[in-house]
Structure 1
Amino acid sequence: MSDHVTPPFGKFPTVRPALDLRDELVGPVAEALGRWDAPEAAGSVLYVETDPEKADTAVFCETYDAPLEYSANCVVVAAKRGGETTLAACVVLATTRLDVNQAVRKHLGARKASFAPMDAAVEETGMEYGGITPVGLPAGWPLLIDEQVAAAPHVLIGSGRRRGKLILPGAALAALPGAEVVPGLAVAVVESTATAEPTAVEA
């Protein structure tokens, strides 16, 4: 194990392979890394130690010199159809806005789709709000990944808690169990408003 891993971007006090730190990660994330059936993808995941008070995307990027265009948000949505509600996770770049009403709703075949309540997202994932990540989501959840995320050489996402983040190739995210790459999942926003929706779960 090495304490001197060089991240693909950003300036962080500590950078380590996530597989080396499973005992320190949130349970669902640690379990997912350990059982991932794509060893190369799991081995590509880095954990960077960060201040939990600076976990929100825009503040984080400024503090750690991380490019906003390589930062991704994991948004939990609730899709309703025929009296049933399905929770799903969507991963989009921080420079974009998740198209919940059109792209997400239509892809999930739902009558209505909206951002999931914070309490429900936290309880169902076993992760902290503001740090929910696509690595370690509940089995059976749809995981939709915007094509821009999948095409990125590396992206920054949550670690399951507000302290720390994960960095991994976009292709590795697309290799997560059950993941679907969806073209047009997000729409571009101007830089001054390139933050997650108020009710979104930020990575």
Structure 2
Amino acid sequence: MVVTSGAHRVDTRRVARLRGVAHRRVRHADPEYVLQVTGQRVGGVAPIGHPGPLPTLIDEHLDAYPHVWAGAGPPHTVFRTTRAELARLTGAEVAAVGAGRA
């Protein structure tokens, strides 16, 4: 899973390098896969509370915001947190994952 701002696009080549996999293996998940892996439907997927471990990357750009709003499971439901708290809760690696950033 990759967590970033809704205003940013994820660079799939960068994510592939960070994960040590071929670029063709990194793509947007379809709704059925998201439900299977997270137990949540697209539209409010939370970064936590999944049935099993889910490797997660968090965009370092989220540090630009004092607070971030993350999906909380049901559609139209969010919770307020910080980039640092998200990293702690998920055990995620914080990295530059957005297009056009180093």
TM range (shorter): 0.7 to 0.9
Change in CA separation of 1:187 and 1:178 when aligned onto 2, cut-off 3 Å: same
Between the aligned partners of 1:106 and 1:126, the Cα distance in structure 2 is 27
- Point out the structure with max Rg over C-alpha: 1
Distance 2:45 2:7 in 1: 18
Give unmatched runs, 5+ long, in structure 1.
1-88, 189-203
Distance 1:180 1:116 in 2: 20
Map 1:55-94 to 2 at 5 A: 89-94=1-6
Deviation at 1:136, TM superposition (A): 1.6
C-alpha offsets along residues 83-113 of structure 1, whole Å, 9 cap, x if unaligned? xxxxxx001111210111x111111111121
Q: What's the RMSD between the two structures over aligned residues?
A: 1.6
| 1:176–1:107 distance in 2 versus 1, CA, 3 Å | same
Q: In the alignment, is residue 174 of structure 1 matched against residue 74 of structure 2?
A: no
How has the CA–CA distance of structure 1 residues 138 and 108 changed in structure 2, closer, same or farther, with 3 Å as cutoff?
farther
Give the total of aligned pairs.
98
The residue aligned with 2:49 is 136
| 1:151/1:171 CA distance change after superposition, 3 Å | farther
Of the candidates 61, 65, 70, which is equivalent to residue 152 of structure 1? 65
Whole-angstrom distance in 2 between the partners of 1:187 and 1:93: 12
2:91 and 2:21 map into 1 onto residues whose CA distance is: 19
The structure 1 residue matched to 2:16, chosen from 85, 96, 105, is: 105
Dislocated runs of 4+, deviation >4 Å: none
Partner of 1:114: 27
Q: Does 1:124 align with 2:37?
A: yes
* CA deviations over 1:17-40 (Å, ceiling 9, x no partner): xxxxxxxxxxxxxxxxxxxxxxxx
Per-residue CA distance 1:50-75 (angstroms, 9 max, x = gap)? xxxxxxxxxxxxxxxxxxxxxxxxxx
Percentage of matched positions with identical amino acids:
33
Q: Which amino acid aligns with 1:140?
A: P
Q: Matches of 1:175 and 1:151 in 2, distance apart? A: 17
Which structure shows the higher strand fraction? 1
Q: Which has the higher contact order (CA 8 A, sep 6+)?
A: 2
Q: Does 1:163 align with 2:80?
A: no
| Cα pair distance change 1:150/1:136, threshold 3 Å | farther
TM norm structure 2 = 0.84
Aligned runs of 1:176-195 on 2, under 5 Å?
176-182=89-95, 184-187=96-99
